[in-house]
Amino acid sequence: MDESNLLYSCMRELGKYGAVFRTNSGQFYSKSGHRISGLPKGFSDLLFIRRDGMACFIEVKAGDNKLSPEQEIFIARMRSLGAKAGVARSVEDALSICGIQ
């Protein structure tokens, strides 16, 4: 499964258990050419909020794709703040990161 399909499969499954958001980080350009800054570089692909309010950050990776240094730092920082965060290479990984059995 490619990364895009995996990401949307994770979103569909997580949506059964709380609120899930696809995030965009970095810089983008509007149709008129204006630069727009999004979330910080390294921000995880998915933000999931469990029904109990716990924030979970999921970086979706297909195959043996590796995390960037910024993604590693972001995940470590979120964990240090008490959030759940990690890398999902499957839907099951995403559920596990979020503490969903």
Q: What does the pLDDT look like over 13-37, one tens digit per residue?
A: 999 999 999 997 767 778 898 887 7
- State whether residue 88 is helix, strand or coil: strand
What domains sit in the chain, N to C, each tagged with a CATH number? 3-97 (3.40.1350.10)
Distance CA 45, CA 58 (A): 6
Q: How far apart are CA 69 and CA 53, in angstroms?
A: 28
**Of 38, 45, 31, which is closest to residue 74 (Cα–Cα)?**
45
The token pair that represents 37 in the structure block: 């800054």
Best CA proximity match to 7, nearest among 63, 57, 46, 64 = 46
- What does the pLDDT read at residue 101? 84
pTM recorded for the entire structure: 0.88
